[in-house]
Amino acid sequence: MKLFQPRTLHKRIMLAIALLQLVVVGLFAIYLLIQQVGNEITSRQVLGHKMIGITAPAVSHLIRHDPAGISGYLGAMLGDRAVAGITVKDRDGKTLFLQRKESGDLHPVAGWFKAAEPHPKISAELRSEHGSLGLMTIELSNDLLNEKIRGLLNDVSYLFMLLLGVDLIAIQLLVKSVMAPLTPLAAMAREVSQGNWEKTVLTTEDGASDEVRNLSDAFIESAKTMKRQIRELEKTRAQLAENELKLRNLVDNMQEVLLEVDQNGLVTFLNPAWEALTGYAAETTLHRPFAEFLTQPRHKAYFEAGRLEHIPLTELQLELRAHDGRPVWMQMSTSLQRDDTGAVSGLISTLEDITETLHLQELQHQHEQDLYRLTITDPLTGVYNRRHFDELLENLLHMNLHKGHPLALVIVDIDGFKFINDTYGHPVGDEVLRTVATSLRNNKHQGGAVARIAGDEFALLLQNVNEMDAERIGHMIHEDLNRIVIPLPVGQLTVQTSIGIAIAPVHGKLPQDLVRAADVALYHAKKSGRNRVDTLTRERGEAIMDIFSQGFEVRNAIIAGLILPFMQPIVDLKTRKIFAYEVLTRMRRGDAFVPADDFIPIAEDLGLIREMDLFVIGQALKMIPKNVHLFVNISLSSFYAPEFAQQLRDLLNSPVARGRSITLEFTERETVEMSREFIQLFDEIRAGSCNVALDDFGVGYSTYSYLRVLRPEFVKIDGSFVLKLKENQEDVKIVEQIRELAHIIGAHTIAEHIEDEETIAMLVKMGVDYGQGYFFSKPVNVDDKHWLTADLA
């Protein structure tokens, strides 16, 4: 019985312990195998994404700059054992590169894992700053993974066999020894189960055999190994939980909406940003069609079942309807999800709220349009401005002449516009400009551009019309403009215009030649009585161009310093002493000097008077001693140039003008708007110790209004009233009236064109203060120092 019992116990112990160790080691081996294979599969996917993330930008660069280099670059990449094939397609689906190499089937162990694809592929869109370039796909090789799995199987098998062999040896030794009671082993197992891993229960005193002790030691070692593995497993589980928590916090705190949609277009996941941006609760949105929240049909079509693969992956802008009904614009960036067969199984997208951005972009676009419109149009009339018209003229002239087509330039000038402004005020003048511009723009006869090129001048371009057609259209436009009636508080105002027409290439092939020809035609129309249409003929053009050539002579004379100051004394009529000198203008022509009356009107007509005034004043201030009281002439029409006022200020504040007596003598051949800036300039002139004299009083425009507003220190009686003072009693009364008006405003009077002693006596009797004329002295060149005489009595 005793002999049988150890033998039976041997079998029982060996069977029990063998089965136990087999289960433990087997489970451990399977667990280790699963962990390692799973890690290898994950590592392969990560490796594939890293490889395509690194190579995709390089391939994009090669597509744009060196398509031939793609084969060399990707061919070298195929040498990597992890790569089984590479495919590159352009954005039209055309294959740019395709190479594959033999790759074994996936190891059966890897097939246990859902993430392990039989032929895994990683794709990435190739992009540049101009958009999509195509698609790159890397097919990963199974060889390296299979090799690692086989190595893992061998390692696990060796470990399993090693551990099992050690256990069996321990069992054999235990059986061969004197069997100790199993109670101590049970006690030891209880201690181990309670966590007392280090405690040895079986001792020599307990009577345990060496076999039992060895078995207990092996059991404890196995338990310790299991404990280490369990701790590692718990640590891994804790790390996964921590990472999951971080990921959830990140998703929950995203400003963008994180959206997941299945293949049927139903919402399967949303983060809290959805409710913050749209007002819909995530719980009530889940499992509903995403298209329900979109407003535009073309956007809804993307999310129909089976159409997800057609959705743009980047920069798709969707209009959603928020819970409160307001529109919300979001920009969608999408990643399509595919199943094992490659079919689209859903998508994951981020939605960024761009409502405010689009609104700002719309405002910016509108602002840019407004700025562009302001740069090319006249703000008052809405037609093109001069600068843009010059560009249009140059472009259309070049285009039409290149095609052999004529081009007509029509310049329209509003007759008496300055009178309209001065008489009816600027609101009426502005209305006239707007009405004329509207009529020109809406006129069915004009087929080109309309522009306001000056204060009261407009220009039109007529394409592909000959001289006869251009003149006919010009008369039609003139008739249409003459029908314009501007209602006034009392009565109405009709508009009259003068029109000049020039045709290219008849009158010129360059823009400046065509404009000059049209200006000449307009000049002739105005000189011929205004309110008419004039087309430049060869004979008339030659005659009028002579006037323009005189203008060139005047300009060249200014440049060459041939405009010279002459001096004529202004005399106190009672004491016969020189009070001041008037600076007169002469132009040198050879050895002769041309009087001002022969070129001043031309200078005014051609816009040269401002430059001439400033030049003559500057010369006089440099050449005449500071102790001489100077009367210097300025044409009021110079103030049409906006920069003239500042140039005059600079001249009067210069060192040559500072500290001397200067009277600015204004000639009023044309009216000038007496704006606030105009009056302010005169206040500044007086503040700078300069006086003001009003010239040619009695024959100019709006003289009384100038007298009232400007309140000059001197009023010069026009010489036409002085020359026949002895024969014409009416002139006597006019002179007396002018002197009386001047006395009322506190101004001194100066009589012009005095030629005899008897006239002086009459003027003194009427109370006129000063005089000038040939009786005292003719104008003398400033270079002749004999003009500087203290007394003419």
Q: Note the pLDDT tens digit of each residue in 560-612.
A: 888 889 999 999 999 999 999 999 988 888 888 888 777 777 777 666 778 88
Q: Which among 176-180, 301-305, 366-370, 662-666 has the top mean pLDDT? A: 662-666
**Average pLDDT in the 123-149 region?**
83
pLDDT-above-90 percentage for the chain: 22
Report the candidate in 472, 523, 483, 497 with the shortest Cα–Cα distance to residue 412. Answer: 497
Give the integer Cα–Cα distance in Å for 201 and 562.
131
The string of DSSP letters for 530-591 reads SSSEEE--HHHHHHHHHHHHHHHHHHHHHHHT-EEEEEEEEEETTT-BEEEEEEEEEEEETT
Dihedral (C-alpha) 233, 238, 240, 241: value to the nearest 10 degrees? 140
Q: How confident is the model at residue 716 (pLDDT cuts 50, 70, 90)?
A: very high
Q: Which of 89-103, 365-379, 454-468 has the lowest average pLDDT?
A: 365-379
**Average pLDDT in the 647-659 region?**
86
Q: Which of 198-207, 239-248, 439-448 has the lowest average pLDDT?
A: 198-207
Residue type, position 494, single letter: T
Q: Does the pLDDT at position 365 exceed 80? A: no
pLDDT-above-70 percentage for the chain: 84
Q: Which helix or strand (DSSP H or E) is residue 69 part of?
A: helix 69-77
SS3 sequence of 457-501: EEEEEEECCCHHHHHHHHHHHHHHHHCCEEECCCCEEECCEEEEE
Residues paired with residue 450 on neighbouring β-strands, in sequence order: 460
For the stretch 496-518, pLDDT in tens is 999 999 999 988 899 988 988 89
Give the integer Cα–Cα distance in Å for 202 and 458.
120
Q: Does the pLDDT at position 119 exceed 50? A: yes
**Average pLDDT in the 229-250 region?**
78
For the stretch 719-776, pLDDT in tens is 989 998 998 899 999 999 999 999 999 999 999 999 999 999 999 999 999 999 999 9
Q: What does pLDDT average to over the chain?
A: 81
For the stretch 689-704, pLDDT in tens is 789 998 888 765 545 7
Q: Does the pLDDT at position 710 exceed 70? A: yes
Report the candidate in 746, 723, 722 with the shortest Cα–Cα distance to residue 736. Answer: 722
Give the integer Cα–Cα distance in Å for 785 and 793.
19
Q: Which of 122-126, 404-408, 447-451, 725-729 has the lowest average pLDDT?
A: 447-451
Q: Which helix or strand (DSSP H or E) is residue 243 part of?
A: helix 210-252
Cβ-based neighbours of 502, under 8 Å, separated by 6 or more: 408, 409, 508, 514, 515, 517, 518, 520, 521, 535, 536
Q: How confident is the model at residue 308 (pLDDT cuts 50, 70, 90)?
A: confident
Tell me what pLDDT residue 790 has.
Answer: 45
**Average pLDDT in the 4-13 region?**
56
pTM metric for this prediction? 0.39
Q: Quick one: CA dihedral 622, 625, 629, 630, positive or negative?
A: negative
